[in-house]
Chains A and B, each alone.
Chain A
């Protein structure tokens, strides 16, 4: 009996203090993975050698290349945001408010580009004008060799970033539309207003908050989109902050880390500023949440057929044109060949799938990194969601803010922060983690925590807190309550979270592009490396496989996800 006493004491301690222990673990997790690296980044940027040197900061930032890149970053992101906001809002109004035909399929097609890795999108658009494009090639619209590709320009970057981020605005605006109380629209109609005035005078002012929230997302995504900015901006010689950091890393390695940290801090400052401006612009909208019926659909009348045609035409242009071109390029032997019976080959796919060791290793690394990230992030998010939903307090809000910041900041900043944080040998292990896959895993955990957290918070909102309190009265510990009360209700949201993180992490490029080395390679940046090395057709084949993987996952989630709460899977209408 004597020996059991310390154990029992420990167990009692665990039982009574379980909430504090969980909170402590959460603080440690977020602290080590999000707060400390970002703090280290700020430290390296501002006081690299133990002292604040204003002259060094000015010298670095006032350089011609940095000013150029900063200005480019600002105007490219702002223009792309404007484009994305216009397209996304129009699409949300069409899909959410009108009786356009075949809406469900159209929404799937409209949101699909968001799930395709940006570097693949850029590659696909670049191939759109190649002779192998099955749409433009036979029409004779392909570029003659030697002409400059129109997308290799600042305008091209704006165009692609705008199209790529339009679904983000779409999702945000659609969510506000669903919250719009139906009687507000019906009242306007019984006051004599036709569909167009109703949209202009009632709907648009009321969904303003959603529009600007979407614009903020589009801005953050544009400014941090490494895939498109690098694939188009580097050959076009349009430097942006993100490509500047990448090229410095390539040219100087970790020795230039302090300057890179400064640039990363500048990029982070611009991102936060953009978010603040859009938040301020969207603030005055007086939107009341109402759970009444969804707004009635407005009839397009005689315009129904032309509008439907136009909407599908947009999808054909933005989805089918680049994707068929990508497939075309993947099916020919050499870049620039037209696709016909003589040139068609499956060699590129065979190489990508079976022969090329680098690709195979990178894919396997990405796969296990992604699975590991999902396995760690889901329990952490369930616990953090519990604290945020049912305990609150400033400490929980701080953790949430830190995770949101790590998610919103461009992935490349997390990359720089992780290098800085893990470059030096760790106290217990004796070696640094830099150059190993563990740094990439740490970066994933830091960057994607907010992504898993969001659907799970949505799941908690649907569970009555009284259920947990009733279980608490029976004496169930926090762990038991999470397992028996919260988790069954959360299961669909947890599934959705896992799918979202999996799809984002498996193909991602911006976080790992600075962290990959010859020892640790992920599949996302592979396309850029292959394209830089001149293997365009192989890059196209890898891109096709990525798109196929994304499509399979999306369709599978649609089939298995019927029990999910509405709005969790963005591609489901």
Chain B
């Protein structure tokens, strides 16, 4: 049985429709990320699940029980869903221990048990010595851990996280990503993690839902998002993907297809039900391109427009094609030198045929 089931969810604020026909089915204990640019509706989706927003149509079920539909709305306090807010939402007038214990106190748990459970939760996030402090005296990372301890103490089976790392610096992010992974492993809770940072989403989640303009455009495993994007939007969004036009796409079986790209014949991956097309979009990443040493090898001619030093590698922006108008990006291992204007020959190691909507695999 799935922990969260969302079907045909619509939500509007006034004239603006924020969510269009959102459907998601999240398994128990799964770690799901929702990834999308700001304003795509991902926070609204979280607030609908938590019960802070009513929905216009569709339904949300939690553990098989209906919690939201247009004429039924279970208030947030009766859903038993933990939420970690972007700004942590620690109550500034309470100590760390009081913050963690508040939900248990409201639930009417006896004092002794409450204190034990609070101390245990604080120990798990390694804040045992901070029980008597105020949130104002804690660092950003420590506040985040108190917010997590609050969910641990409540033993929430479902935890929603609203961009919990957005306000932290890069060093702390890495440490806290590990913290979330630990939390997930320890608690076995279903996690629903909102973010606009794809590195976070791909690193943490079992499955990632990519959102754009209020729709879920793809819901899949991280590697599938990267290697088999369902739409141009996903292909362009994930991993600096490049989408260009190819011709004479012909499936050759075994999940592969041949196509003509910039006048060269190339071999690409494709969906099992891919049909022959006169033209279509294909996607690949900078790492799929390689610099060729010999001019005779199969590949494209291009000229360098810009080369940027990125530490471990050199990033080159190229223009290819018969009229030099198709932009490409390429990573070259560090001890290399490319100068603008230089002519190079590049080969495509791997690519993916983006399915046309009719043939798109259902997720």
Q: Which of A175-222 contact B (CB under 8 A)?
A: 181, 183-184, 186-194, 197, 201-202, 205-206
Asked whether, in the complex, the Cβ of B85 is within 8 Å of the Cβ of A186, the reply is: yes
Q: How far is the CB of A195 from chain B (nearest CB, A)?
A: 8
Asked whether, in the complex, the Cβ of B87 is within 8 Å of the Cβ of A292, the reply is: yes
Other-chain residue from B79, B85, B106 in contact with A183 (beta carbon distance below 8 A): B85
Other-chain residue from B52, B79, B92 in contact with A288 (beta carbon distance below 8 A): B92
Asked whether, in the complex, the Cβ of B154 is within 8 Å of the Cβ of A191, the reply is: yes
Report how far A288 CA is from B136 CA in the complex, Å: 10
Other-chain residue from B78, B81, B89 in contact with A184 (beta carbon distance below 8 A): B89
Which residues from A are CB-within-8-Å of B245? Answer: none
- Give a binary string over B248-269; 1 marks a CB under 8 Å from any A CB, 0 the rest: 0000000000000000000000
Q: How far is the CB of A136 from chain B (nearest CB, A)?
A: 43
Given A202-B91, A290-B87, CB of A186 within 8 Å of CB of B52: yes
Does A286 belong to the interface (CB within 8 Å)?
Answer: yes
Does A285 belong to the interface (CB within 8 Å)?
Answer: yes
Which chain A residue lies CB-closest to B81?
A190
Asked whether, in the complex, the Cβ of A189 is within 8 Å of the Cβ of B75, the reply is: yes
Q: How far is the CB of A549 from chain B (nearest CB, A)?
A: 38
* Range of interface residues on B (Cβ < 8 Å): 20 to 34
Which chain B residue lies CB-closest to A198?
B77
Which residues from A are CB-within-8-Å of B346? Answer: none
Does A144 belong to the interface (CB within 8 Å)?
Answer: no
Q: Which of A67-111 contact B (CB under 8 A)?
A: none
Report how far A193 CA is from B101 CA in the complex, Å: 12
Q: How far is the CB of B239 from chain A (nearest CB, A)?
A: 32
Given A186-B52, A190-B79, CB of A181 within 8 Å of CB of B106: no
- Give a binary string over A256-298; 1 marks a CB under 8 Å from any B CB, 0 the rest: 0000000000000000000000000000011110101000100
Given A285-B93, A286-B93, A288-B92, CB of A192 within 8 Å of CB of B77: yes
Q: How far is the CB of A540 from chain B (nearest CB, A)?
A: 48
Does B82 belong to the interface (CB within 8 Å)?
Answer: yes
Does A299 belong to the interface (CB within 8 Å)?
Answer: yes
Asked whether, in the complex, the Cβ of B92 is within 8 Å of the Cβ of A186, the reply is: no
Asked whether, in the complex, the Cβ of A186 is within 8 Å of the Cβ of B106, the reply is: no
Which chain B residue lies CB-closest to A205?
B93
Report how far A184 CA is from B50 CA in the complex, Å: 14
Which residues from A are CB-within-8-Å of B91? Answer: 184, 187-188, 202, 206
Q: Which of A188, A206, A285 has the most CB of B within 10 A?
A: A188
Which residues from B are CB-within-8-Å of A189? Answer: 51-52, 75-77
Q: Which of A189, A205, A296 has the most CB of B within 10 A?
A: A189
Report how far A296 CA is from B50 CA in the complex, Å: 13
Which residues from B are CB-within-8-Å of A186? Answer: 50, 52, 76, 83, 85, 89
Q: How far is the CB of A210 from chain B (nearest CB, A)?
A: 13
Given A206-B93, A286-B93, A288-B92, CB of A192 within 8 Å of CB of B87: no
Q: How far is the CB of A294 from chain B (nearest CB, A)?
A: 13
Report how far A299 CA is from B106 CA in the complex, Å: 18
Report how far A193 CA is from B83 CA in the complex, Å: 14
Report how far A171 CA is from B112 CA in the complex, Å: 42
Report how far A183 CA is from B136 CA in the complex, Å: 16
Q: How far is the CB of B18 from chain A (nearest CB, A)?
A: 14
Other-chain residue from B52, B77, B93 in contact with A296 (beta carbon distance below 8 A): B52
Report how far A206 CA is from B92 CA in the complex, Å: 8
- Give a binary string over B345-359; 1 marks a CB under 8 Å from any A CB, 0 the rest: 000000000000000
Which residues from B are CB-within-8-Å of A288? Answer: 92, 136
Q: How far is the CB of A292 from chain B (nearest CB, A)?
A: 7
Which residues from B are CB-within-8-Å of A184? Answer: 89, 91-92
Report how far A188 CA is from B76 CA in the complex, Å: 9
Asked whether, in the complex, the Cβ of A191 is within 8 Å of the Cβ of B92, the reply is: no
Which residues from B are CB-within-8-Å of A285? Answer: 93
Report how far A184 CA is from B93 CA in the complex, Å: 11
Asked whether, in the complex, the Cβ of A183 is within 8 Å of the Cβ of B76, the reply is: no
- Give a binary string over B45-89; 1 marks a CB under 8 Å from any A CB, 0 the rest: 000001110000000000000000000000111111111011101
Asked whether, in the complex, the Cβ of B87 is within 8 Å of the Cβ of A191, the reply is: no
Which residues from B are CB-within-8-Å of A194? Answer: 75, 77
Report how far A197 CA is from B75 CA in the complex, Å: 14
Asked whether, in the complex, the Cβ of B103 is within 8 Å of the Cβ of A192, the reply is: yes
Q: How far is the CB of A291 from chain B (nearest CB, A)?
A: 11
Report how far A296 CA is from B53 CA in the complex, Å: 10
Which chain B residue lies CB-closest to A288?
B92
Report how far A183 CA is from B87 CA in the complex, Å: 8
Does B102 belong to the interface (CB within 8 Å)?
Answer: yes
Which chain B residue lies CB-closest to A286?
B92
Report how far A192 CA is from B85 CA in the complex, Å: 16
Asked whether, in the complex, the Cβ of B83 is within 8 Å of the Cβ of A187, the reply is: yes
Q: Which of B123-139 contact A (CB under 8 A)?
A: 134, 136
- Give a binary string over B83-118; 1 marks a CB under 8 Å from any A CB, 0 the rest: 101110111110000000011001100000000000
Q: How far is the CB of A18 from chain B (nearest CB, A)?
A: 43
Does B150 belong to the interface (CB within 8 Å)?
Answer: yes
Which chain B residue lies CB-closest to A194?
B77
Asked whether, in the complex, the Cβ of A190 is within 8 Å of the Cβ of B106, the reply is: no
Asked whether, in the complex, the Cβ of B102 is within 8 Å of the Cβ of A188, the reply is: yes
Which chain B residue lies CB-closest to A187?
B89
Asked whether, in the complex, the Cβ of A187 is within 8 Å of the Cβ of B85, the reply is: yes
Asked whether, in the complex, the Cβ of B52 is within 8 Å of the Cβ of A191, the reply is: no
Asked whether, in the complex, the Cβ of B89 is within 8 Å of the Cβ of A192, the reply is: no
Given A201-B102, A286-B134, CB of A192 within 8 Å of CB of B80: yes
Report how far A187 CA is from B87 CA in the complex, Å: 11
Report how far A296 CA is from B76 CA in the complex, Å: 12
Which chain A residue lies CB-closest to B156?
A190
In the A-B complex, the 6 residue pairs with the smallest Cβ-Cβ separation, listed nearest first, are: A191-B103, A183-B89, A187-B89, A183-B85, A286-B92, A189-B76
**A-B contact list, 26 entries, CB within 8 Å:** A183-B89, A184-B89, A184-B91, A186-B76, A187-B83, A188-B102, A189-B51, A189-B52, A189-B76, A190-B77, A190-B79, A191-B103, A191-B150, A192-B77, A192-B103, A192-B106, A192-B107, A192-B154, A202-B91, A206-B92, A206-B93, A286-B134, A287-B92, A288-B136, A290-B87, A292-B87
Chain A interface residues toward B at CB < 8 A: 181, 183-184, 186-194, 197, 201-202, 205-206, 285-288, 290, 292, 296, 299
Query: Apart from A190-B82, A192-B80, A286-B134, what are 4 other A-B pairs with CB-CB below 8 Å?
Result: A187-B150, A191-B102, A191-B154, A296-B52
